[in-house]
């Protein structure tokens, strides 16, 4: 397929690997933000083609991984109610809450449906006027415009039985948590190409300047990742800081202006808890007051459900690049994709699942 196959050429990927070997004179640690990028790195063995002095650590950009347990318990409490159709992307259905998960709830009779797009959930609401239809709105800036558009559309046409359970998170505040930590190891970032497709990269410029680091907006195919790594290492070796754009075929400095306009119309920035990390100030979106009638937390009064995270899992350290999956005593033993203890083992984009599925880390 065009825009995919040519970016998977083995010969081109190897050429970049050779260029990187000729470039690196010192040890460097880089972080890729997005779980999709982690998946590509491990699946194609890109990290193994780098010089041993270059370490890739894996970032928090996996929505399934950072959605707090209490939000899952709220989802489960809503989905268990009679008269509710609970809709979600497939990724969230298997994630265990403190007692059960959405698929098990479905098996015991709840109406839980997987949708491809949030607009499908609006359609379900339109066709089921006697039911309450709830969509689980998780994800980063890439996914938020679609969810915003769904609720904007429902409000505009008066589909009152449609609501969102919102757990949106934002990349830049999480980057600042990682960079501001006294134990930080990350010297350069590969920023997430699809988040930046929506948001642009202006907001990364002050972060790069404040922490004196290079940030390279990077795509998702093997060649994109190799070039993003090469650009970041070149900037580090030459002592340059600032933002560069490897993924110019999709990303502009201002991002998608129309998508950002609907985000501003529907959402406002709020503090959010991240699973394994804790509350990060101003790191998420919630619905504006004008959309309160479509807010599932208010509609079903689940805001008081709070859950403590179990302490066995080191997901928080893995998500901040402080530890690798193999550093966890439970990895591949008590914790596997079939019986996950923590979210990075549930989602295929989670670092732990990527390491497990491609035979790494043990």
> Which residues in 243-272 contact another protein (CB under 8 A)?
246, 248-251, 256, 258-259
From the list 204-212, 220-228, 269-277, 287-295, the region that binds another protein by CB under 8 A is 220-228
Among 30, 32, 35, 355, binds another protein (CB under 8 A): 35
For 191-212, letters b (16+ CB in 10 Å) and e give bbbbbbbbbbbebbeebbeebe
Does 62 bind another protein (CB under 8 A)? Our answer is: yes
Q: In angstroms, rounded to a whole number, what is the distance separating the alpha carbons of residues 81 and 77?
A: 7
> Which residues in 338-357 contact another protein (CB under 8 A)?
347, 349
Measured CA distances, 33 to 30, 41, 169, 330, 349 (Å): 10, 12, 13, 24, 11
Taking the alpha carbons at both ends of the chain, their separation in whole angstroms is 35
Q: For residue 112, give the 3-state DSSP assignment.
A: strand
Does 205 bind another protein (CB under 8 A)? Our answer is: no
User: Tokens representing 74?
Assistant: 């709220």
Does 194 bind another protein (CB under 8 A)? Our answer is: yes
- Strands (E) across the chain are located at 28-34, 54-61, 84-88, 111-114, 132-139, 162-169, 188-192, 214-218, 242-245, 267-274, 278-287
At its nearest, how many Å lie between another protein and the CB of residue 64?
A: 7
CB atoms within 10 A of CB 109: 9
Does 168 bind another protein (CB under 8 A)? Our answer is: no
Q: In angstroms, rounded to a whole number, what is the distance separating the alpha carbons of residues 294 and 163?
A: 4
Nearer to another protein, 30 or 223 (CB): 223
- Count the residues of the shown chain that bind another protein, applying the rule CB under 8 A: 70
Q: For the window 105-124, what string marks contact with another protein as x by the rule CB under 8 A?
A: -----------xxxxx----
Does 13 bind another protein (CB under 8 A)? Our answer is: yes
Among 87, 187, 227, 283, binds another protein (CB under 8 A): 227
Does 146 bind another protein (CB under 8 A)? Our answer is: yes
Does 135 bind another protein (CB under 8 A)? Our answer is: no
Q: In angstroms, rounded to a whole number, what is the distance separating the alpha carbons of residues 321 and 359?
A: 20
Q: Using alpha carbons, select from 320, 53, 326 the residue that is nearest to residue 182.
A: 320
Kind and range of the H or E element at 41? Answer: helix 35-43
Does 64 bind another protein (CB under 8 A)? Our answer is: yes
Q: For binding to another protein (CB under 8 A), which residues are involved? A: 1-4, 6-7, 10, 12-19, 21-22, 34-36, 44-45, 48-52, 61-64, 89, 91, 116-120, 138-140, 142-143, 145-146, 149, 153, 156-157, 192-195, 197-198, 220, 222-224, 227, 246, 248-251, 256, 258-259, 347, 349
């Amino acid at each position: 397929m065009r825009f995919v196959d040519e970016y998977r050429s083995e010969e081109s990927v190897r050429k970049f690997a050779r260029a990187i070997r000729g470039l690196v004179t010192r040890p460097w640690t880089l972080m890729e933000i997005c779980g999709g990028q982690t998946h590509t790195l491990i699946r194609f063995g890109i990290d193994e083609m780098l010089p041993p002095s270059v370490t890739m650590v894996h970032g928090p950009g996996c929505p399934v991984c950072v959605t707090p347990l209490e939000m899952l318990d709220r989802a489960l409490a809503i989905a268990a109610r009679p008269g509710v159709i609970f809709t979600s992307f497939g990724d969230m259905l298997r994630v265990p809450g403190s007692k059960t998960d959405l698929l098990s709830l479905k098996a015991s009779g709840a109406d839980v449906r997987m949708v491809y797009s949030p607009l499908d959930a609006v359609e379900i609401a339109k066709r089921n006027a006697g039911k309450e239809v709830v969509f689980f709105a998780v994800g980063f800036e890439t996914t938020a415009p679609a969810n915003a558009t769904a609720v904007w559309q429902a409000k505009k046409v008066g589909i009152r039985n449609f609501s969102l359970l919102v757990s949106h998170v934002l990349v830049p505040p999480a980057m600042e948590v990682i960079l501001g930590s006294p134990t930080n190891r990350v010297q350069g970032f590969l920023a997430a190409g699809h988040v930046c497709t929506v948001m642009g990269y202006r907001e990364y410029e002050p972060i790069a300047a404040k922490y004196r680091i290079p940030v390279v907006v990077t795509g998702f195919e093997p060649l994109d990742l190799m070039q993003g790594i090469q650009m970041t290492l070149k900037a580090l070796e030459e002592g340059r800081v600032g933002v560069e754009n490897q993924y110019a075929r999709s990303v502009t400095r201002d991002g998608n202006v129309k998508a950002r306009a609907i985000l501003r119309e529907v959402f406002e920035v709020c503090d959010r808890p991240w699973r394994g990390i804790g509350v990060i100030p101003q790191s998420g979106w919630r619905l504006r007051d004008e959309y309160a009638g479509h807010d599932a937390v208010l509609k079903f009064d689940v805001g008081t459900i709070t859950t403590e995270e179990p302490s066995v899992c080191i997901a928080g350290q893995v998500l901040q690049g402080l530890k690798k999956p193999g550093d966890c005593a439970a990895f591949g033993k008590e914790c596997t994709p079939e019986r996950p203890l923590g979210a990075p083992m549930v989602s295929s984009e989670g670092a732990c699942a990527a390491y497990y599925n491609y035979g790494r880390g043990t």
